[in-house]
Structures are given as structure tokens and as C-alpha cells.
Structure 1
Amino acid sequence: MSEGKDLVATVHFADHGFFIGITPSGHAQAIDTDGARHAAPSPMELLLIALGACTAVDVIGILRKKREQVTDYRVEVRGARRDEHPRHFTRMEVRHIIRGVNVSARAVEQAIELSENKYCSVAATLRPTVEIVSTYEIENESTAAEV
């Protein structure tokens, strides 16, 4: 890897299907590979969160730069996996749910497009083998004072 700065993560086996991941910035993350226990996220669940977080950072940042009045924002990511091994994701659906005052649909569309095609490194990493489909919903709040 000669492009950019190399990042190094470490994963320690902690026994009984548990692992502790240490991020390049030194943060610890428990990982559970026992599908029945669910005491911590699995590696595949972390991929869903990684995609959601990556695009969310981009989209909210772009909407703020556009001075959109966003009062609440969340991203839901649904992943479909192969039945055979390796059970990798074949499709991920990313749903952006934005609440705010007079939020522009065009601004949301542009923000999502920029994230998908230019800024989100996780999407760019997954896209060669995973179909990523994005949708959005805008819940507009009234600016009128409640009586």
C-alpha cells in the first residue's frame, strides 16, 4: 500500500468467541462471534454501522453547509447476504431520514449523491462487490408557533 497513510488495527482473541478490536486511534471495540449470545456487535454488523456512519457524516455536513434547518437525522442500513460461504453482503439499502424546517429535497439528493460518489470511503470500498441503494425521507416540521 503506497497510497496515503497506512492504518493499522489489531484484533485480540479474548476466548469464548469474543475478540477485542483496537482501532488505529486506540479505541477498543468488543466483537462477538457467537451468534446466539449477541453480547457485542459481529464483524458484519460493524460493516453496516461503518457504512451508515460514513455517509451520515458526509450528508449532515453538506446539509449544514447548505444551511438546511435539520433538527433530527438518522441513517438506517439494511444488508442482504449470500446464503453460501463466504456469506458476504450482496446488497445494502441505506435510508436517510431527515427531520427539519423546510428541508429541501434537492439539497438532500445532492448531499446523498456527493457522499455516494465522492466522499464516503466505506461505500467506495464496498461498491465493487455490494450493490448500494440509497433512499431518503424528509419529515418537515412546521415553523408556526404552537398555540
Structure 2
Amino acid sequence: MIKIELERVKGDYGFEAKDAYGHTVHIDNSTEGGGSDFGARPMQLLLMGLGGCSGIDIVSILKKQRQNVEGFSMKIEGEREAGKEPSLWANVHIVFELKGEIDPQKAYKAAELSMDKYCSVAETLRRAGGSLKWSVRVNDQNIQ
């Protein structure tokens, strides 16, 4: 069982979350909602988790295939359901950007395996009704 501890440490909504290993994350509400911009919003953390989950998968797969990943970044955009409470992620798009000596088709397949098979966060969002789209760029070239 995973254990997470949360403690309010700043203002009304500024929390520090700590995992069992002592890693911390700051969480806060928007300033419009009374927060003090102390940390990331909870729903943004979910998209960050998606990026981390898929990024770990992709790099791991490519390393096993002896691909030289010199740089890896991603851009994640999300749109939440309008006029609903709770408002879930309805549409999410990720652009995986890799640099190095990488076979473009291997990079695409690694992303596909992550997003469709291995990434638990992606599956969590899908089961909640979210639509996940993604694309891959290797050395500034779009891959299909």
C-alpha cells in the first residue's frame, strides 16, 4: 500500500505532499480561488503524472533497444469538461519530442506501447472518459 502525507503549510490552500521516500510536492489553489500560487494545482499534477509515467516508459523501452536518447521533452495540453462538477479532463494531447540517434519508428512504437499498454495514468484518464491523443517528434521531424 502506498502512503502519502499532506500537510497545510501556507495560507488556506497551500499543502505539501510527501511520499514514503520523503519526496515533496507543493499543491495550491488558484489565486482566483483563494490560493497563494504556492504550488501546482491538483488537476495539473495529474497531467504531470501522465507525462512522468509515459516518459519513464518510453525512455526505458528505447534504452532496451539500444537507442541513444540525448534529449527528451514533452508538451501536454489538456481541456477539462465545461460546466460540470467535478470537471474531469475531457481532452489531452501530448507531443513527445526526442533527440539523439533514435530510429523514428522505434520511438513511435515506444510511445504507442506506453500510451496504449503500460502507462497506468493514461489508462486512469481513459477510464474516466478522457480522450488521449499523442504525437512524436524525433530530431524535429514529425513521426507517423
1:95 is matched with which residue? Answer: 95
The one-letter amino acid paired with 1:98 is: L
SS where residue 111 of structure 1 aligns?
A: helix
Show CA shifts across 1:13-51 (max 9, x none). Answer: 333221121223332221111335423111011111100
**Residues in 2 aligned to 1:26 and 1:41: alpha-carbon distance in whole angstroms:** 18
1:44 is matched with which residue? Answer: 43
- Unmatched runs of 5 consecutive residues or more in structure 1: 1-5, 141-147
- Aligned runs of 1:121-132 on 2, under 5 Å? 121-128=120-127, 129-132=129-132
The count of aligned residue pairs is 134
Matched, 1:12 2:35: no
- Aligned runs of 1:75-90 on 2, under 5 Å? 75-84=74-83, 85-90=85-90
Show CA shifts across 1:56-106 (max 9, x none). Answer: 0010111111111221111211111112222211111111001113x2121
CA contact (8 A) 1:17 1:34 kept: no
2:31 is matched with which residue? Answer: 35
Q: How far off is 1:7 after superposition?
A: 1.4
- Unmatched runs of 5 consecutive residues or more in structure 2: none
* RMSD (Å) for aligned C-alpha atoms: 1.7
SS where residue 139 of structure 2 aligns?
A: strand
The one-letter amino acid paired with 1:120 is: C
Query: What's the TM-score, normalizing by structure 2?
Result: 0.84
1:60 is matched with which residue? Answer: 59
Q: How far off is 1:113 after superposition?
A: 1.4
The one-letter amino acid paired with 2:6 is: V
1:134 is matched with which residue? Answer: 134
Show CA shifts across 1:89-131 (max 9, x none). Answer: 1111111001113x21210121011111222111121111211
Matched, 1:21 2:20: no
Return structure 1 stretches of 4+ with deviation > 4 angstroms: none
